[in-house]
Chains A and B, each alone.
Chain A
Amino acid sequence: MNDFINALALFLQSAVTMGTPLLLATIGGILAEKVGHLNLGVEGMMLMGAVIGYVTGINTGNPFIAIIAAGLVAALGALIYAFITVSLKGNQIVTGLALTIFGTGFANFIGSSLVGVTLPASVKGALSDFEMPILKDIPILGKMIFSQSIYVYVSLLLALLVWFYIKKTSFGLNMRSVGENPAAADASGINVTLYKYINICLGGFMCGIGGAYLSLVSVPSWQDNITAGIGWIAVALVIFATWNPIRAIFGAYLFGAIQCLDYKLQNVKFNFFGNPFTINAQLLSILPYFMTIIVLIFINIRKKKENQPPAGLGSAYFREER
């Protein structure tokens, strides 16, 4: 039994490690979508953050500056997106995809000289696993959550903060109204453009530090295309979490666990009434998307108000069309 608990704890620890970049990117996606902008550039922004975080980490030796730089460069990418979709009213899908392609190229270009360069010990040390005193002794949870990099604690804190911002502050109320009905928000004196710009850029910042988690903590080294599709899972996860940062925590760790499950179950033979079978890895890897579709079906059947996507999602706001 002890063995089982220990194995479970280690498995969940891996799940949290895999889920953390997902969580940060999902929060970023939620922020943008809550003001009505579907940003498909998550993958690109994560890569931009990952590469700049790594470069800065190598050159300054300071993990804090590295993470901030990663966030800022991704926010800059989001700013381009915001300019095109908010000010120029460009198509959000096309602009987002372009941002992903741009971010990938940008990261591979900057990263070409980084392969094989290792992070200085000061960065590695500061971001390596840190066991929380007392809390680490809680069974399972202690290993799962409280024996992680400081980065993980910060990501959890950010999820709570963003939840508080969206649900409990007047700024959050304003930004939600911008996403639901920009015309009404405009009429009540909210600066729609400003809210959109700020939240899209904040979202970009989150995606950037999510990417930097990969290059600074979980992998940690520079590899071309280090995200390998995590950004797209995050886009699905935004829907899975029904635009709620707290649910995003569970969703991210669940999706992270599914990714780890692949390796866990690979050589395990199951027995179903005498019929031995193994679980197919490819089937497991479609699970996150499959579950997202299930959630979409449910929120559309139940029509619960707080689980609906922002009403203004995906459409540009023309003040003159009122």
Chain B
Amino acid sequence: MKKVFTLLLVLTLVFTTLVGCKKEDGTDKPGTTSDNKGIAKEDLLIGFLYVGPIGDQGYSYAHDLGRLDLEAAGYKTKYVENVPETADCEKSIRDLIDQGCNVIIATSFGHMDWTYNVSLEYPDVKFFHCSGYQTGDNMSAFFGRMYQIRFLSGIAAGLKTETNKIGYVAAMPLAEVVRGANAFALGVQSVNPDATVEVKWTNSWYDPAAEKAAAVELLNSGADVLAQHCDTTGPQIAAEEKGAFAVGYNANTFDVAPGAFLTAPLWNWGVYYLAQMQQIVDGTWEASNYWGSMDTGIVSLADLTNNCAPGTKEAIEAAYNAIAAGEYDVFDGPLTNNEGIEMVPEGSTMSDADLLAMVWFVDGIIGSVPKSN
């Protein structure tokens, strides 16, 4: 008898809880009036999702600088670090919305699908996703044409090298990384056609010891300038120790390797964030797919240091102006891959779609893109 009673009690409890939840869900949803009117600045609460710690001096750090720009301009923000690229990401987004966020900015490629799922449920919250392609009525995709800056940094490396061997420490074999290495190599060749760029993969987004070991290996095999598409300062430190030079990434890390640091491609997300938030305030915001060029300022090159070869500044400025004026593009033909097959014929250039799916190395790169099968 007692058991039956307990069972009944439990069932009643479960039932009432479930009903309660459902009701709550129904009333909790914000009113669905998407007439796209402006939202006052003080009513905006912007929530950021970072894939790593903001102290990584790398990718998430750069996004956080953008967030601080927003704070300085009077916007209220919140952020979550170390958001995994799994279903947990959805939870973090819902958490932020529960805390009152009406703008969500997810910063890593792997956050894309989760962000999109949640964006369908909250039509009044505005979503931004960095480095992906998915957009929606209330979700924008955004990124910067970092390859243009890598081309410029390649000029600095090409003018500096004396052995004509340049090393490139790369993280994962993705189109973004391949594109960056190609642009860098084309930059090198634009000023120094004899130089080669050797690419070594660490096959990890984050492995301090391995990134340095890969750099040391490149230096041992004769490279005297290094560049990197990985998040730690290991390659720069390795270059400093061996009396070589290095192009950094993500942050101006001159202090880490003052004798080796040439320059670094940088992200300036604040430029984009401020412009987008202003549109929301003005009521003119619409979801978009944005791939900003270097002349918008979303990507830039760190100040050249005295380690650079003389004439570097002039050469980079000339290239910058030519690209900005539309006189030529980084990936203008003719381009052949490093197995001698023509990929882009003379007179044409690569489309954005091709760039987003680039999996081959240009001529002059030593290395290969592992097949993803």
Instruction: Show the binding face of A for B, using Cβ within 8 Å.
Output: 7, 10-11, 14, 17-18, 21, 108, 111-116, 118, 128, 214, 218-221, 223-228, 230, 259-260, 263-264, 266-267, 278, 281-282
Contacts and interface: CB of A to CB of B under 8 A. Distances in A.
A207 to B, nearest CB: 16
A116 B253 contact: yes
A227 B208 CA distance: 8
B255 interface: yes
B55 A267 contact: no
Contacts of B233: 221
Contacts of A113: 55
B81 to A, nearest CB: 9
B207 A228 contact: yes
Interface residues of B, number: 38
B213 interface: yes
Given A7-B220, A14-B217, A266-B367, A225 B209 contact: no
Interface of B: 52-53, 55-57, 61, 198-201, 203-204, 206-210, 212-214, 216-218, 220-221, 232-234, 237, 241, 251, 253, 255-256, 366-368, 370
A267 B367 contact: yes
B212 A219 contact: yes
Nearest to B216: A14
16 contacts: A7-B220, A10-B220, A14-B216, A113-B55, A128-B241, A219-B208, A221-B208, A221-B232, A225-B206, A228-B207, A259-B213, A260-B217, A263-B200, A263-B214, A266-B367, A281-B203
A115 B204 CA distance: 20
Given A14-B217, A112-B55, A228 B255 contact: no
A267 B198 contact: yes
A18 B209 CA distance: 8
Contacts of A219: 208-209, 212, 232, 234, 237
A83 to B, nearest CB: 30
A11 B216 CA distance: 9
Contact of A111 (B55, B204, B367): B55
Contacts of B212: 218-219
Contacts of A223: 56, 206, 208, 232
